[in-house]
């Protein structure tokens, strides 16, 4: 079975480069029936496999480690935390929660430092957007229900920076189903599909953030953007300000 990246490659050859079935077969190495199947396929909304849960005994302490390492970004080099110093400090200040050995802390610190210093050195997404580009945001908001009780909801906003217009959908959560259904509703309301959409690194779309611009996307999100032929672009981590803001209309 082909991955969504393989399928995207086949469809790009056909839809963007205008390659024939025979040329796609030559470039991709797939048989005629396989190429024809995915060139003609319109519905990519197959039910995704249930996500695999991954848990580490270090997870409860990761926010504390992250805070220390982020503080080191502006500290002199000799004053920054080493993995050993972090481990010793965790033993001193959070010994009742520390259930891992030094090696586990070393692996996590090395990975987190690579992420932080890569983020610090790279560029940013420009704030100029041509027609056909959109940006997607999820945020919390409070409202009163019919019983006059204050509740908390989630608002999905799809905005179009060039025209400064935006459309919103309101949900109780911000999982993948809410994200995709909200975008679908707005596409149907406007009768237009953006060719490019800019996202934060929300877990409903991104299962893993790699170095630089590397992202591992969830299978359901891959299917959705392939179905609508949308190019997805992601902001740098913790840099949602890279996107502009627009007016909001709930539809």
Complete DSSP assignment for the chain? ---HHHHHHHHHHHHTS---HHHHHHHH---HHHHHHHHH-----PPPPPPPP---TTGGGHHHHHHHHHHHTTS-GGGSPPHHHHHHHHHHHHTTT--S-HHHHHHHHHHHHHHHHHHHHS----S---TTEEEEEEEEEEEE-TTS-EEEEEEEEEEETTTTEEEEEEES--SHHHHHHHHHHHHHHHT---SEEEE---TTTEEEE-STT-EEEPHHHHHHHHHHTPEEEEPPTT-GGGS-----EE-
205/240 same-domain check: yes
- The pTM assigned to this predicted structure is 0.49
Do 116 and 195 fall within a single domain? no
Region of poorest pLDDT, from 127-131, 157-161, 170-174, 219-223? 127-131
For residues 73 and 110, state if they share a domain. yes
Q: Which domain CATH number covers 234?
A: 3.30.420.10
Judge if 73 and 139 occupy the same domain: no
SS3 category, 166: strand
Question: Is residue 128 domain-resident?
Answer: no
Is the per-residue pLDDT at 56 higher than 60? yes
Q: Nearest-CA neighbor of 89 among 68, 73, 74, 103?
A: 68
Q: What is the pLDDT of residues 179-212, one digit of tens each?
A: 999 999 999 998 989 989 999 888 889 989 887 7
Q: Is the pLDDT of residue 224 over 90?
A: yes
Specify whether 232 is located in the same domain as 203.
yes
In a domain, 52, yes or no: no
Q: How many CB atoms lie within 10 A of CB 219?
A: 16
**For residue 74, is it within any domain?**
yes
In the predicted structure, residue 123 carries a pLDDT above the cut 70: no
Residues 94 and 201 in one domain: no
Domain count, the chain: 3
Instruction: Tell me, yes or no, whether 57 lies in a domain.
Output: no
- Residue 164, classed as helix, strand or coil, is coil
164 and 201 part of one domain: yes
pLDDT surpasses 60 at 91: yes
Shared-domain flag, residues 86 and 193: no
* 8 A C-beta contact, residue 154 and residue 138: yes
What are phi and psi for residue 243, nearest 5 degrees? -95, 155
Q: Does residue 237 fall inside a structural domain?
A: yes
Same domain, 98 and 148: no
Owning domain of residue 201: 133-250
| Structure-derived torsion over alpha carbons of residues 28, 205, 182, 177, reported in degrees to the nearest 10 | 100
Of 121, 153, 171, which residue is a domain's last?
Answer: 121
Whether residues 144 and 236 fall in one domain = yes
pLDDT at 158: 92
Q: What is the mean pLDDT of residues 110-132?
A: 70
């Amino acid at each position: 079975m082909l991955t969504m990246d393989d399928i995207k490659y086949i469809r790009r050859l056909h839809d963007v480069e205008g390659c024939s079935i025979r040329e796609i077969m030559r470039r991709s190495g797939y048989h005629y029936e396989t190429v024809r199947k995915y060139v003609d396929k319109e519905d990519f909304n197959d039910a995704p496999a249930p996500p695999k849960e991954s848990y580490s005994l270090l997870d409860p302490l990761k926010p504390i480690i992250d805070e220390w390492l982020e503080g080191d970004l502006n500290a002199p080099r000799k004053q920054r935390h080493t993995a050993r110093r972090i481990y010793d400090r965790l033993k001193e200040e959070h010994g009742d929660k520390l259930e891992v050995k030094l090696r586990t802390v070393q692996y996590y610190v090395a990975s987190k430092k690579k992420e932080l210093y890569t983020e610090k050195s790279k560029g940013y997404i420009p704030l100029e957007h041509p027609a056909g580009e959109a940006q997607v945001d999820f945020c919390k908001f409070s409202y009163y229900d019919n019983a006059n009780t204050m509740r908390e909801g989630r608002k999905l906003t799809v905005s179009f920076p060039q025209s400064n217009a935006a459309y919103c959908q309101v949900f109780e959560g911000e999982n993948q189903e809410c994200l995709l259904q909200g975008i679908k509703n707005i596409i149907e309301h406007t009768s237009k599909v953006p060719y490019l959409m800019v996202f934060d690194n929300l877990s409903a779309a991104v299962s893993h953030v790699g170095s630089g611009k590397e992202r591992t996307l969830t299978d359901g999100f891959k299917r959705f953007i392939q179905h609508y032929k949308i190019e997805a672009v992601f902001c740098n981590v913790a840099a949602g300000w890279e996107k502009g803001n627009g007016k909001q209309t709930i539809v």
